[in-house]
């Protein structure tokens, strides 16, 4: 199956980072360090009490959100979806013995994925796409796969490098309000990042 030039750039970037840093740490996923990843996880985790609910992690990478949420909400059913084989293979290796944990190889924009109570996307919507409406299509698709709510983070400021994209929170919020009545913006944890909660 052929992939778009945008997807090819993302695949190439992560494979380069794996070659540079190995496939175990957050650098392979494009994070500066573990702290920058955890700050975003912490913001997402405050969406709701997730115990007793199912959660879809769209673009799950190594599945690090699974272990982070387990400390706070041990009673969740977790689905992680990732299109890059090297990343999801590592996620499966780490969590293959965990109960209520399923990994799905595929692109959440085009492949079938489960409907879950909550959907989260951490970092996976930050890549540049030639389609100017891509971010709106992605938010809409992910929202369609949640029963109770969607949480995602986006960059608000970047150093232009052709790979990442930054967004105006006001524009994103306007789109989200067209989809659901209750939308919350969380922008008090980072100078370069914001999180959106969409509740059904």
Q: How far apart, in whole angstroms, are the C-alpha atoms of residue 73 and residue 70? A: 5
Mean pLDDT along residues 126-140: 95
Handedness of CA 14, 169, 42, 101 (dihedral sign): negative
Is the pLDDT at 158 greater than 80? The verdict is no
5-199 architecture in CATH?
A: 3-Layer(aba) Sandwich (3.40)
Contact 158, 190 (CB under 8 A): no
pTM for the model stands at: 0.92
pLDDT at 152 over 60: yes
Q: What does the pLDDT look like over 59-102, one tens digit per residue? A: 999 999 999 999 999 999 999 999 999 999 999 999 999 999 99
Residue among 125, 60, 44 nearest 95 (CA): 60
Per-domain boundaries in the chain: 5-199
């Amino acid at each position: 199956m052929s992939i778009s030039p945008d997807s090819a750039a993302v695949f190439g970037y992560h494979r380069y980072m794996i070659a540079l840093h190995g496939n175990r740490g957050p650098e392979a996923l494009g994070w500066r360090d573990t702290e920058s990843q955890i700050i975003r996880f912490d913001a997402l985790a405050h969406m709701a009490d997730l115990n007793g609910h199912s959660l879809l992690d769209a673009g799950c990478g190594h599945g690090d959100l699974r272990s982070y949420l387990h400390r706070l909400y041990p009673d969740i059913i977790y689905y992680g979806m990732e299109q890059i084989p090297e990343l999801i293979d590592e996620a499966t290796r780490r969590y293959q013995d965990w109960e209520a944990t399923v990994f799905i190889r595929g692109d959440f924009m085009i492949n079938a994925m489960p409907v879950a109570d909550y959907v989260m996307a951490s970092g996976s919507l930050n890549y540049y796409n030639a389609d100017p409406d891509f971010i709106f299509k992605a938010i809409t698709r992910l929202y369609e796969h949640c029963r109770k709510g969607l949480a995602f983070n986006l960059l608000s400021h970047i150093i232009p490098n052709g790979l990442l994209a930054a967004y105006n929170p006001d524009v994103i919020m306007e789109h989200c309000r067209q989809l659901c009545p209750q939308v919350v913006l969380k922008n008090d944890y980072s100078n370069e990042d914001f999180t959106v909660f969409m509740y059904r």
